[in-house]
Amino acid sequence: MSGTSSAPVVRRWSRHPRCVSRARAELLVALEVWGLAPLADSATLVLSELLTNAGRHARVPPGRLIETRFQAVRGGLRIEVHDAAGAPPQKRDPDVDACDGRGLLLVTSLTDSWGFGERNGPGKVVWAELGTCEAPGEGDGDAP
């Protein structure tokens, strides 16, 4: 199914840190079904960073959940993390001795693109796209 669009996998999570590993497990299942298992290492790390950021920094009213959406798209995968906080993610330039602050730098290095925007309802969506090694048109003479 790799290379074609599919129905997204949508799940909702609390801000509890254990939800990150559960979300990674859901993503791994979807990647296997979609034939995108080669993206597993990078995709689970990106998801971990985005979901952890939402849990740590998205100060929202009690009862508001964080939503993840995974979708196979032409040439790869799209990961979205929705939360009810409006503040945009902030890339930091951490001190070399710092123990944190490198999450969005990792996301930048592991993805083809990422960003954030408004969503239906309060808050924002942070998204990332990862491509497979098989670019659209690769090997058939078409320009990328």
Do residues 85 and 60 lie in contact, with contact meaning Cβ atoms separated by under 8 Å? yes
CATH superfamily of 9-131: Histidine kinase-like ATPase, C-terminal domain (3.30.565.10)
pTM of the full structure: 0.81
Domain boundaries, the chain: 9-131
Give the separation between CA 74 and CA 54, rounded to whole angstroms: 27
Q: Considering only CA atoms, which of 15, 10, 29, 115 is closest in space to residue 67?
A: 10
What are the pLDDT tens digits along the chain (144 aa)?
444 557 999 999 988 889 999 999 999 999 999 999 999 999 999 999 999 988 887 766 677 789 999 999 998 999 999 998 888 887 666 556 655 556 788 899 999 999 999 988 888 999 999 997 654 444 333 333
DSSP code string of 29-95: HHHHHHT-GGGHHHHHHHHHHHHHHHHHH----TT--EEEEEEEETTEEEEEEEES--PPP------
